[in-house]
Amino acid sequence: MAKIKLATVWLAGCSGCHMSFLDLDEWLLELAKHVDVVYSPVGSDLKDYPENVDVCLVEGAVANEENLELIRKVRERTKLLISFGDCAVTANVPAMRNMLGGTEPVLKRCYLELGDANNQLPNFPGIVPELLDRVCPVHEVVQVDLFMPGCPPSADRIQATVEPLLRGEQPVMEGREMIKFG
């Protein structure tokens, strides 16, 4: 049986979901027998998301133009897309900036009001990816096939989600142990 092409993506979030993924410890060795990790911010230097990915775990909310471009590419090139953690599922903490009412108040607050030295807005292209007016959960931007909440999801929940996929089965995402937020 061919190995599953697995990717992980990190959008606007804290990387806690990826750290929890690494908490799979010894099961990572078993997982490695069944998957080829074709893209990930953990231990990979790949710059472009590949074609024909079987499964992708997407951590984080969609907060800027860079996130938006990447998640659209991920959806286009991935068979099964999993919202991985509360930020991907609900936009969670990154969406707290939505309360400020748009991009301009966020930038002013961060760079002018709270700046320590040389208070100025970043205006050179490429320094800061262009912010979206509103931070969104992944499913508001692209179709999501499976939701794995948790902040972060536990290693047990990650394994219970990924392991059935290795057998060509859908994971059962029900019950507190699989769908609890936070």
Domain ranges of the chain: 4-97+131-179
**Counting Cβ atoms within 10 Å, is residue 149 exposed (0-12), middle (13-18) or buried (19+)?**
buried
Task: Compute the distance between CA of residue 86 and CA of residue 91 in angstroms, rounded to an integer.
Answer: 7
Residue 2 has pLDDT above 90, yes or no: no
The tens digit of pLDDT for each residue in 114-173 reads: 888 888 887 777 777 889 999 999 999 999 999 999 999 999 999 999 999 999 999 998
Q: What is the CATH number of domain 4-97+131-179?
A: 3.40.50.700
